[in-house]
Amino acid sequence: MTDLLFVNVRLLDPASGLDAPGELLVREGHIAECGAGLGRPDGAATLDGEGAVLCPGLVDMRVDLGEPGGEHRETVASAALAAAAGGITTVAALPDSKPAIDDPALVRLLRARGEETGSLTVLPYGAVTRGCRGEELAELGLLREAGAVAFTDGAHAIGPARLMRLALTYAAGFGARIVQHPEEPTLAAGGAATEGELATRLGLPGIPAVAEAMLIARDIRLARLTGGAVHFAHVSTAESLALIRRAKDEGLRVTCDTAPPYFDLNETAIGDWRTYAKLSPPLRAEADRAAVAAALADGTIDAVASDHAPRDPDDKRLPFAQAASGGTGLATLLGVTLAQVHGGAISLPRAIELLTVAPARLLGVAAGTLAKGAAADLCLFDPDRIWQVAAGALPGKAQNTPFDGRALEGRVIGTWKAGRRVFGG
C-alpha cells in the first residue's frame, strides 16, 4: 500500500486535544505521523484537503443493521455504504434481530460480516435476555468472550427489576455495561407519540414522557445497589437528564447517549401524521429538546449515536399508530450534529468528541483517535458545505429519514478505513 500524506487540513483529535492546521501521514494502514511540517516522504501520494477538517472515523454506538432476519430493511453491506458516506468507520450493532444475538456464534458472524465490507468495523452487542424477550438472562459471559462489547435488548426495555439487577451484577463481574432502552414498558405499550396536546389533537395514543424518567430512576438505584454500569440510550427528556446528572455527581457508573432527532427536532415534526418522524422514544416537547441540546454542552450526555433504525417503505405507509417506529441516521449523523455547532450550542471539538473518542471509550475499543500507530480510520469533512437530505437519494437501502428535506451545513468529503479510501474521490 502506497503511503498517503494529507496536507492542508485542520487536524481535529479530541482524544489528544489536537486542533490545528497540519499534515497526517498514513503508512501500511496506520497513522505514521501527525502534526505540522512533516515534509514530503519519498513515494507518498499527496491529498490536499483544501482546509477541510480531518478527524478520526466516527464511532456510532447504536445501529440496527437489519441482519440477521431483516435484510429487506438493511444489510451489513448496505449499511456500510451509508456509514462510509457519513464518515462512520465503526458501529455497535443492536442484538434484537431475528434471531437475536444471544449466541456467541452470531457475535462472531456479525464481526465477520463487517470485515467482509472492507469499510466498516462491526462491534456486536450481546442480548441481555434470551431472544431479547425480557424473561431470562442470556449467557453473558460466553457472549463477552465471543466479542460482545456490551449488553442490551436493543429497542426493548429490560422491564423486570430483578432481571435488571441480575444483569448489572453479572456484567459488572467482567467489566461490561448494560445498555437500557429507558421506557417503562407498561406505560409505553400501545403508544405512538408523546402524550399531550398534540397527540390528543391528532387522535394518537400517547406515551407519557415520565415513562422514560421512571425507568431511569429505577435503574440508577439498581446501579447504586449492584455497583454495576448502566448506560441509557437515546435519552430525550429534561427530567431524565436531571436524574442522570445527579447520579454522575454521586459517582455512580451511569452514562448516557442521545440521537440527533432529540436535539434537532421536537414533536411538531410528526406534523399531520408524518410517519418518517415516528421514532422510539417519540419526539418530545420543545422544552425537552432544548434540555437535550444543553446537556450536550455541559457533559451530561456522553455520546451521540445515530440510532439508525431502517424500515421498509411498507412499514411506514400505514396509519401513524400502526406504522413502525424508527428512522435512518447513518448518513445524517455528522451533519445534524454540526447544526449544534453552527447554532453556537457546542464547539466543533466537542461535537467530534461526542462522535468519536467518547463512544469508543464507552465501548472499550481502540478507535476514535489520530494517535500515532492507530488504525488510519479517517473522516475528511467540510463543516460549511451545504446539502439537503432527500429520502430516496440516501446511500443504503433504507430511506426513512425524519430529516427529509432538511438543509444541513457540513458534509463528508472522504472516508478512509485502515488507510484505504471507502467514500469520496
- Set of cell numbers at residue 11: 487536524
What is the spatial distance between Cα 369 and Cα 359, in angstroms, rounded to a whole number?
11
What is the spatial distance between Cα 238 and Cα 219, in angstroms, rounded to a whole number?
17
Distances in Å between the Cα of 114 and the Cα atoms of 58, 93, 204 are 15, 10, 39
What local confidence, expressed as pLDDT, does residue 420 receive?
98
- How much is the average pLDDT of 308-312? 96
Q: Is 1's pLDDT higher than 90? A: no
**Catalytic sites, residue numbers:** 307
**Domains located in the chain, CATH noted:** 56-363 (3.20.20.140)
Q: Is the peptide bond before 281 cis (omega within 30 degrees of 0)?
A: yes
Q: Mean of the per-residue pLDDT values for the chain?
A: 97
What is the spatial distance between Cα 168 and Cα 179, in angstroms, rounded to a whole number?
10
Q: Are 250 and 278 in contact (CB under 8 A)?
A: no
pLDDT digits (tens, 9 = 90+) for 145-182: 999 999 999 999 999 999 999 999 999 999 999 999 99
What local confidence, expressed as pLDDT, does residue 37 receive?
84
pLDDT digits (tens, 9 = 90+) for 341-396: 999 999 999 999 999 999 999 999 999 999 999 999 999 999 999 999 999 999 99
Q: Is 425's pLDDT higher than 80? A: no
Phi (first) and psi of residue 120, to 5 degrees:
-145, 130
- How much is the average pLDDT of 3-25? 97
- Set of cell numbers at residue 289: 429538546
pLDDT confidence bin for 40, thresholds 50/70/90: confident
What is the spatial distance between Cα 376 and Cα 360, in angstroms, rounded to a whole number?
15
What local confidence, expressed as pLDDT, does residue 110 receive?
97
What local confidence, expressed as pLDDT, does residue 328 receive?
97
Residues whose CB falls within 8 Å of the CB of residue 51, separated by 6 or more in sequence, listed in order: 8, 9, 10
Residue 86 CA, chain-centre distance (Å), reads 12
**pTM of the complete model:** 0.97
Query: Can you give the length of the chain in residues?
Result: 425
What local confidence, expressed as pLDDT, does residue 303 receive?
98
